[in-house]
């Protein structure tokens, strides 16, 4: 009934907090305001009577969009104390309009049968009718100070949390997590990072609606009794450099972010120096995950942040997924990330053919480290050493399945593990994730790995990093390859850039693009962690939802 260290989730998050001497520090627009963890938990307990009067009790579910602030954190803990499960709904993907997002949330709330939909007070006026028609809409602040009831959190193997995916490859799925699974995950992260109570300090801008922000940062800090400086994704997007400047100012030792976020922050840091030369020398761990980590991102970050004292071995590429609560593998502390180079065309066919990293057909894969404590990747490791395979994960922090989706649960949760839908391989004990099974496009009798072409196009001058997407449509029975490209700077020479992209596609995968569609910045739909939603890109292209700057016809047209 407990984690490998002997603590239940509720002992680790609620009971132990009474003796904590560390704090949650929330960004308030001007600076960080400190809320001692012990007071956060006490304040949460004083919300439980109001929640109970609102119908929140054991066996019910509270739906919410977890925004970055102290009220949602109190509310999450209070809901658990009141006995309810909490369903964390996705924030809108970039490119999703208000009507689409409202319909998505309304559908999820109807499926949940939630006792209430509860958010920060500032969001109440934004709640659409699609939600209020099926679920009472309330604010966390309205319950503060209402009184307490005796805590009755969910049993260790009951439903405690529903983590909805961002929908980067499909309709959002609700991963059902038990207290036992969450506790095991928090233990994994604490052990992996060798966190020291009251000594380590964390900084994060990641949204709490994302598993990396919630489990990887916030709850790990409460579990491990360390200070957590919680910024906001909105502040990060306006000023990416604040991620590392915050770390320098508060003496952070650990942090986490996405590949896209690291690229933006490193690029910003290379232009502006706001911290002393040794400001980042105390950083032990900078976990990078949420999407495939790219070698050029690590190189950019290492070059940009080295003058501030950040060591290359501080970067810890990792792999995880919501179905495993979060972390599956991570680069060991104080070890530099590993890379291997393969022929991109062979890789698309599932063959691992090593080449020099500077070969025209090369694609460089970054290792995501070794399995976390208790994680088993033996099914993938047992495959022939020269072949890709689907990553299968056995872990003590696995989800119980997908909410109200027995068919998908039966297909993905197999033999005590989960089939991830990601391709990869294990070499010398290190996992190398390559990409989604869905990223492989079959054309003219051969397979193409779309991500390898996109990575190469991203490196072209004028293309916005991380903002090119290859989609395969059907044109009277034939596959039509369209490259969607956001521009990083103004240009009118679309033909030259399209020809360069076509040359890259031919060199990397021996395929001919049919057209390049150039788009303004922020046109491509993306998840909060920065992953492009390929299926929505295809839908938006098919339905004329994009407003192109230019469309350049290429081969076969």
Contacts of 421 (CB under 8 A, 6+ apart): 169, 390, 412, 436, 437, 438
| Alpha helices (runs of H) in 419-460, residue ranges in sequence order | 450-458
Domain 444-553 top-level CATH class: alpha beta
- DSSP structural state of residue 146: S
Residue from 496, 318, 327 nearest 397 by CA: 327
pLDDT at 338 over 50: yes
pLDDT at residue 556, rounded to an integer: 46
pLDDT at 384 over 50: yes
pLDDT at 320 over 60: yes
Q: Average the pLDDT over 92-101 and give the result.
A: 74
Rounded-to-integer distance, Cα 523 and Cα 548, Å: 9
User: How many other C-beta atoms are found inside a 10 Å radius of the C-beta of residue 525?
Assistant: 24
Which residue ranges does the chain devote to CATH 3.40.50.12780?
9-238
Q: Average the pLDDT over 383-401 and give the result.
A: 92
pLDDT at residue 62, rounded to an integer: 96
CA 447 distance to own-chain centroid: 27
pLDDT at residue 95, rounded to an integer: 64
Rounded-to-integer distance, Cα 284 and Cα 421, Å: 31
Least confident of 37-51, 376-390, 497-511, 527-541: 527-541
Residue 67 — very low, low, confident or very high, per pLDDT cuts 50/70/90? very high
Rounded-to-integer distance, Cα 83 and Cα 74, Å: 14
Output 285 or 272, whichever has higher pLDDT: 285
User: How many other C-beta atoms are found inside a 10 Å radius of the C-beta of residue 553?
Assistant: 12
Structure tokens at 355: 């080449």
**Location of structure tokens 């938006």:** 540
Task: Determine the topology of domain 9-238 in CATH.
Answer: Rossmann fold (3.40.50)
Helix (H, G, I), strand (E, B) or coil at 311: coil
Which residue ranges does the chain devote to CATH 3.30.300.30?
444-553
Instruction: Please provide the average confidence, as pLDDT, over all residues in the chain.
Output: 89
Read off φ and ψ for residue 205, nearest 5 degrees. -110, -5
Read off φ and ψ for residue 276, nearest 5 degrees. -70, 165
Rounded-to-integer distance, Cα 516 and Cα 494, Å: 9
Dihedral sign for Cα atoms in the order 243, 248, 250, 254: positive
Are the C-beta atoms of 186 and 220 separated by less than 8 Å?
A: yes
Are the C-beta atoms of 308 and 251 separated by less than 8 Å?
A: no
pLDDT at 397 over 90: yes
- DSSP H or E run through 343: strand 339-343
Work out whether strand 32-36 and strand 23-27 pair parallel, antiparallel, or are unpaired. antiparallel
Q: Average the pLDDT over 11-18 and give the result.
A: 90
pLDDT at residue 439, rounded to an integer: 76
Q: What's the pLDDT tens digit per position in 410-464? A: 999 999 999 999 999 999 999 999 988 877 777 666 677 788 788 888 888 888 8
- DSSP structural state of residue 322: G
pLDDT at residue 169, rounded to an integer: 46
pLDDT above 70: percentage of residues in the chain: 92
Q: What is the pTM of this model?
A: 0.87
Structure tokens at 164: 């909805």
Helices H / strands E in the chain, number of each:
19, 27
pLDDT at 283 over 60: yes
Q: What's the pLDDT tens digit per position in 212-252? A: 999 999 999 999 999 999 999 999 989 999 999 999 999 99
pLDDT at 1 over 60: no
Structure tokens at 118: 């509860």
Residue from 403, 530, 544 nearest 91 by CA: 530
- DSSP H or E run through 111: helix 98-112
């Amino acid at each position: 009934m407990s984690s490998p260290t002997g603590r239940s989730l509720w002992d680790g998050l609620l009971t132990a907090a009474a003796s904590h001497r560390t704090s949650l520090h929330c960004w308030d627009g001007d600076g960080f305001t400190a809320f001692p963890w012990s007071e956060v938990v006490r304040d949460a307990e004083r919300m439980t009577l109001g929640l109970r009067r609102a119908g929140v009790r054991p066996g019910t579910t509270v739906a919410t969009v977890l925004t970055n602030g102290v009220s949602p954190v109190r509310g999450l803990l209070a809901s658990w104390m009141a006995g309810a499960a909490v369903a964390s709904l996705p924030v809108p993907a970039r490119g999703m309009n208000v009507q689409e997002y409202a319909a998505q949330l309304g559908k999820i709330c109807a499926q949940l049968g939630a006792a209430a939909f509860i958010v920060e007070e500032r969001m109440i006026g934004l709640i659409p009718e699609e939600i209020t028609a099926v679920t009472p809409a309330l604010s966390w602040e309205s319950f503060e100070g209402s009184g307490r009831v005796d805590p009755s959190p969910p049993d260790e193997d009951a439903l405690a949390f529903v983590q909805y995916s961002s929908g980067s490859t499909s309709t959002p799925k609700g991963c059902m997590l038990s207290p036992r699974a969450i506790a095991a995950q928090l233990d994994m992260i604490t052990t992996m990072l060798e966190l020291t109570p009251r000594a380590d300090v964390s900084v994060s801008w990641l949204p709490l609606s994302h598993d990396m922000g919630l489990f990887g940062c916030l709850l790990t800090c409460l579990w491990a009794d360390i200070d957590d400086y919680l910024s906001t994704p909105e502040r990060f997007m306006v000023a990416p450099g604040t991620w590392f400047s915050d770390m320098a100012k508060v003496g952070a030792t650990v942090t986490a972010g996405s590949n896209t976020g690291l690229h933006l922050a490193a690029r910003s840091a290379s232009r502006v120096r706001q911290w002393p030369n040794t400001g980042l020398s105390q950083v032990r761990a900078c976990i990078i995950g949420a999407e495939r980590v790219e070698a050029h991102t690590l190189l950019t970050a290492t070059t940009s942040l080295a003058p501030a004292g950040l060591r290359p071995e501080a970067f810890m590429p990792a792999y995880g997924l919501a179905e495993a609560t979060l972390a599956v593998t991570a680069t060991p502390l104080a070890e530099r990330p590993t890379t291997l180079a393969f022929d991109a065309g062979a890789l698309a066919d599932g063959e691992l053919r090593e080449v020099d990293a500077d070969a025209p057909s090369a694609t460089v894969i970054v290792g995501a480290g070794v399995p976390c404590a208790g994680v088993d990747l033996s099914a993938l490791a047992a495959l022939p050493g020269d072949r890709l395979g689907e990553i299968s994960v056995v872990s003590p922090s696995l989800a119980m399945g997908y909410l109200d989706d027995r068919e998908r649960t039966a297909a993905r949760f197999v033999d005590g593990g989960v089939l991830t839908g990601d391709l990869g391989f294990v070499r010398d004990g290190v996992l190398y994730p390559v990409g989604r099974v869905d990223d492989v496009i079959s054309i003219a009798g051969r397979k193409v790995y779309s991500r390898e072409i996109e990575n190469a196009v991203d490196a072209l001058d004028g293309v916005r990093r991380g903002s090119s997407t290859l989609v395969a449509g059907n044109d009277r029975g034939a596959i039509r390859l369209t490259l969607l490209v956001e521009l990083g700077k103004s240009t009118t020479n679309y033909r030259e850039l399209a020809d360069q992209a076509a040359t890259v596609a031919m060199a990397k995968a021996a395929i001919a693009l049919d057209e390049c569609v150039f788009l303004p910045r922020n046109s491509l739909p993306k998840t909060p962690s920065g992953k492009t939603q390929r299926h929505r890109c295809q839908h938006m292209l098919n339905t004329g939802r994009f407003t192109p700057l230019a469309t350049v016809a290429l081969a076969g047209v």
